[in-house]
Amino acid sequence: MGALIKDFLNGIWNDNPTFRLQIGLCPVLAVTSTALNGVGMGLATTFVLMCSSILISILRNVIPEKVRIPCYIIVIATFSTVVDLVMHAMLPDLHRVLGIFIPLIVVNCILMGRAEAYASKKPVIYAAFDGLGMGIGFTWALTLIGAVREMLGAGSLFGVQLVSDTAATFGVFSLPPGAFITVGLLIAGMNMISTRLRKAS
Amino acid sequence: MNESVRMIVVLAVIAMVSGGVLSFVYDWTGAIIAENQLRQMESSVFEVLPGAVRVEPLGTAPSTLVQDDPETSREVEQTTTQIFVGFDAQDKALGYAFVGEGPGYGGAVRILVGVDGESGEILNLAVLNHAETPGLGSKIEEASFRNQFKGKTLDDPIAIGRDIDGISGATVSSRAVAEAVRRGFADAAAAYERSR
Amino acid sequence: MELFLIFIGAVFVNNFVLVRFLGICPFMGVSKQTETALGMGAATTFVMVVTAALTWLLQWYVLEPFGLPFLQTPVFILVIASMVQLVEMFLHKTSPGLYRALGIYLPLITTNCAVLGFSLIAVQGAYSFIQSLIFGLGAGIGFTIALMLMAGIREELRFADVPKPLAGTGIAFIIAGLLSLAFSGFAGLV
């Protein structure tokens, strides 16, 4: 049980895919102009990550070594297309904003990385918790970046206006350059916190 | 040999299951997606045709509404992809709305134009979708730009620099909108006249 | 003329890395030296042009006529993966020199979302065959330019005194932000 929790928490902080491992960065930058988009993208990725981790773990003794990469690709591509279609049907507005980055979940390095390094070697329950932890780690990172950019760029949070309509905001934070700068500063912040924690313990 | 056979079998089975799952999900969501797009198009038509309470696509029965598909329209070089007729509460035809498309800066700009059936004047214009630069080209969505088209008829030039002021810094996007209106207007008007 | 606009648009205005955020992983990972950056860029450009041709044919002659657009993502990614493999084997046989130069980058291209992203954008934009090829070439060159610029700056950065928490990727992101700001000056060019 302890190992399960450790796996789960690992993805959330120590091996956080965005801030620590720094993989799967394209959606991190592209869809985080608002906090809500960050949540949506994070949850979509979490779903694909958990489902494919579970399935790959179940099939780990069936899939021959030599064709494992194509097999993983098909599994992941199938789940991302399912998410793409379901989201198009159920949440058309969010789907329009996230656009091309939903099918691009398939090339998110987090998914292939976890499939290859973890799910293909561990029992189902561990793979599921690892996928969930990584997914939540990814989601909170995206939400945080989205929240910062939305507050600075549009003066609102989750669509709720925080400052008056006419107040000047830093529009650049809604645009591509702001994404890079926000992520850079947040990574620096995470490094500082981690160093402090290590010193304290 | 045995190993290769196993490889092929496993890959084939996974691929087949994947195809099966996807076609099932596609069938299931396809109808909902089509329905959503239809609802959205309808509400856009209401927006550009004030007073309309019911919308019908021109020439087809409501149950067989053609899907709004930019791909096919581009292949046959149509000037307008879709024409709708709006009816008021007394079920009298108020006017029509047509979808127009112009080449923008980040891709095609698609707009919906509502036209008064009697006077032939443009009532309102809505931008359906575009991929223009946020903050520059995206200003084509703003009312101050769109309102310039109100009241124009087929006899007006409807061109940037002549009777429409372009948005500074977004000339291509502004031109795309004007061109989308111009391209579809004559055909849509003719089709509407024929239908009455 | 239109082809030229597509090309310039893909290289500068909608630069894949700095404006569209595609291919960020290799952009951050393989941009420490200009030489490797050039190798990665060249290999990616090559694969992009080849995939442009293949995915275009598949989309308009297989997926679309048979009503299978929902298989797009799996089919495209498999095409890209096998293309990368093929290119690798082909180079290995025919041009060992080039293979040695590009070899280690080739497998990384499969998971470069710039390649898949570009195929999807080309299909959405309903580009013609030639337009797709030019678009692929422009996207690849734009990717290479971004990578080279970044690598050039990071080489110089070794001599700079960067605050500790920012060292490494932190400062790289800030630089990328400034580059992206510079590229936004191209907006309105086409």
Please indicate whether, in this complex, the C-beta atoms of C126 and B74 are within 8 angstroms of each other: yes
Rounded-to-5 percentages of helix, strand, coil across chain A: 80, 0, 20
- The minimum CA-CA distance between A184 and chain B, rounded to whole Å, is 23
Interface test with A, best of C79, C174, C184 (most A CBs within 10 A): C174
Instruction: Note whether C131 contacts B: Cβ–Cβ < 8 A.
Output: no
Tell whether A197 is within 8 A of chain B (Cβ).
no
Beta strands in C101-179 (DSSP E): none
Count CB atoms within 10 A of the CB of residue B51. 13
Look at strands B122-129 and B108-116 and give their pairing: antiparallel
DSSP state letters, C44-106: HHHHHHHHHHHHHHHIIIIITTTT-GGGHHHHHHHHHHHHHHHHHHHHHHH-HHHHHHHGGGH
Beta bridge mates, B83:
B98
Q: Which other chains touch chain C, taking contact as 3+ CB pairs less than 8 Å apart?
A: A, B
User: Which residues fall within 8 angstroms of residue C187, CB to CB, at 6 or more apart?
Assistant: B133, B136, C13
| Number of CB atoms found within 10 A of residue B97's CB | 31
Task: Work out the minimum CA distance from C71 to partner chain B, whole angstroms.
Answer: 7
Instruction: Tell me which chain C residue has its CA closest to the CA of residue A81.
Output: C73
Contacts of B138 in chain C (CB under 8 A): none
Interface size A-C, in CB pairs within 8 Å, comes to 124
Complex ipTM? 0.83
pLDDT at position A96, please? 78
Tell me: the pLDDT tens digits for C13-67?
A: 888 888 888 888 888 877 778 888 888 888 888 888 988 889 889 888 888 888 7
Q: Collapsing DSSP states into helix, strand and coil, what is residue A132?
A: helix
**Helix (H) or strand (E) run with residue A157 in it:** strand A156-157
Alpha-carbon dihedral of residues A105, A109, A114, A117, nearest 10 degrees?
Answer: 150
- State the nearest Cα–Cα gap between C19 and chain A, in angstroms: 6
pLDDT in tens, chain C (190 residues): 678 888 888 888 888 888 888 888 888 877 778 888 888 888 888 888 988 889 889 888 888 888 788 888 888 888 888 888 887 887 788 878 777 766 667 777 877 788 888 888 888 777 888 888 999 999 999 999 999 999 999 888 888 888 888 887 888 899 999 998 888 888 766 5
Of A71, A86, A88, which has the smallest distance from its Cβ to B14's Cβ?
A: A71
Q: Tell me if C70 and B22 make a contact (CB, 8 A cut-off).
A: yes
* The three-state (H, E, C) secondary structure of chain B, written as one string: CHHHHHHHHHHHHHHHHHHHHHHHHHHHHHHHHHHHHHHHHHHHHHHHCCCCCEEEECCCCHHHCCCCCHHHHHHCCCCCCCEEEEECCCCCEEEEEEEEEEECCCCEEEEEEEEECCCCCEEEEEEEECCCCCCCHHHHHCHHHHHHHCCCCCCCCCCECCCECCCCCCHHHHHHHHHHHHHHHHHHHHHHHHHC
User: What are the extents of the domains in chain A?
Assistant: 2-200
Tokens describing residue C167: 């060292």
Domain boundaries, chain C: 2-17+34-158
Spatial separation of the C-alpha atoms in residues B107 and B113, rounded to whole Å: 19
Pick from A131, B23, A41: which is nearest to C63 by CA? Answer: B23
How confident is the prediction along chain A (201 residues), in pLDDT tens digits per residue?
677 888 788 878 788 888 877 788 888 888 888 888 889 889 999 999 999 999 999 988 888 887 888 888 889 889 998 998 898 888 888 887 787 788 888 888 788 888 888 888 888 888 888 889 999 999 999 999 999 988 888 788 887 777 776 677 787 888 888 889 999 999 898 888 888 888 887
Q: Report residue A40 as tokens.
A: 């949506």
Question: CB-based contact (8 Å) between A11 and chain C?
Answer: no
Tokens standing for residue A117: 């390094």
The H or E element that residue A125 is part of is helix A124-154
Q: Which residues contact C172 (CB under 8 A, 6 or more apart)?
A: A184, C28, C31, C150, C154
Residue B127 CA to residue B95 CA, distance in Å, equals: 19
- Identify which of A98, A87, A82, A86 has the alpha carbon closest to the alpha carbon of residue A32: A98
Question: Which segments of chain B have a pLDDT < 70?
Answer: 1, 59-81, 106, 133-136
Contacts of A180 in chain C (CB under 8 A): 173-174, 176-177, 180
Whole-number pLDDT of residue A54: 92
pLDDT for residue C119:
86
Count CB neighbours of C2 within 10 A.
11
Q: What pLDDT is recorded for position A174?
A: 80
Nearest to B169 among C14, C126, C188 (CB): C188
Looking at the complex, report in whole angstroms how far the Cα of residue B23 sits from the nearest Cα belonging to chain C: 7
What are A123's strand-pairing partners?
none
For B131, half-sphere exposure in the C-beta direction (CA atoms, 13 angstrom radius) is 15
- Block residue for tokens 């205005």: C13
| The dihedral formed by the CA atoms of C117, C120, C126 and C127, expressed in degrees to the nearest 10 | 40
C-alpha count within 13 angstroms, C-beta hemisphere, residue A142: 29
Q: Of B10, B25, B40, which is closest to A67 when you measure between CB atoms?
A: B10
Neighbours of chain B (3+ CB pairs under 8 A): A, C
